[in-house]
């Protein structure tokens, strides 16, 4: 009976967070297959080592920290080119703007860090404190970098 409850717990966590994990991984990697691989690796690590979750933050935040670490490890190991199809950008960034092509082009010009911070705040809905926990940045650094990223994005979109 205990085994059934544990499997249900993992299944419920996967159902609740897999889309968020995938979109976050995709926002960093810009590659659908790599994002899917990372998502599955994160949940496998959670299943194998969930006792390492110390409840200092939410499960979602902890899973996103694992995702971030896996993505950056993959980026450094493989030196993945940051190229992406405009259609694939819809996976990570769902926008109601009429001119999606220019928005996607502007997003592609951002650095990985700028892209990550913008994604976590605007699309992930995380607070500045949570973003600091995920990225390891101080609260003031998160605010400053997001302010600069938004200004850069506005400038890029107004030039179009």
DSSP category for residue 83: -
Check whether 123 has a pLDDT greater than 90.
no
- Confidence band, pLDDT 50/70/90 cuts, at residue 81: very low
Spatial contact of 113 and 68, defined as CB atoms under 8 Å apart: no
* Rounded CA separation 136/142 (Å): 9
Question: For residue 118, how many C-alpha atoms fall within 13 Å in the half-sphere facing its CB?
Answer: 24
Give the CA distances from residue 147 to residues 56, 114, 118, 152, 156, in Å, rounded to whole numbers and listed in that order.
Answer: 27, 10, 10, 9, 14
Give φ, ψ of 95 to 5 degrees: -125, 150
What domains can be seen in the chain, in order of their start residue?
Answer: 2-159 (1.20.140.160)
Would you say how long the chain is, in residues? 160
127 closest CA partner among 142, 141, 107, 113: 142
pLDDT digits (tens, 9 = 90+) for 32-70: 999 999 999 998 888 877 655 566 778 888 899 899 999
Mean pLDDT of the residues in the chain: 79
| pTM of structure | 0.66
- Find the farthest-apart pair of alpha carbons in the chain and give their distance in angstroms, rounded: 61
Check whether 73 has a pLDDT greater than 60.
yes
């Amino acid at each position: 009976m205990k085994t059934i409850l544990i499997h249900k717990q993992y299944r419920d966590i996967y159902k609740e967070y897999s889309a968020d994990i995938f979109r976050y991984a995709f926002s960093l990697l810009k590659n659908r297959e790599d994002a899917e691989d990372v998502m599955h690796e994160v949940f496998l690590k959670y299943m194998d080592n969930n006792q390492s979750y110390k409840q200092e933050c939410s499960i979602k935040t902890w899973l996103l920290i694992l995702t971030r670490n896996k993505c950056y490890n993959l980026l450094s190991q493989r030196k993945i080119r940051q190229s992406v199809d405009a259609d694939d950008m819809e996976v990570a960034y769902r926008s109601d703007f009429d001119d999606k092509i220019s928005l996607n082009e502007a997003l592609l010009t951002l650095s990985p860090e700028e892209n990550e911070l913008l994604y976590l705040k605007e699309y992930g809905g995380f607070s500045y404190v949570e973003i600091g926990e995920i990225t390891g940045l101080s609260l003031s650094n998160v605010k400053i970098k997001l302010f600069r990223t938004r200004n850069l994005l506005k400038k890029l979109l107004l030039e179009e």
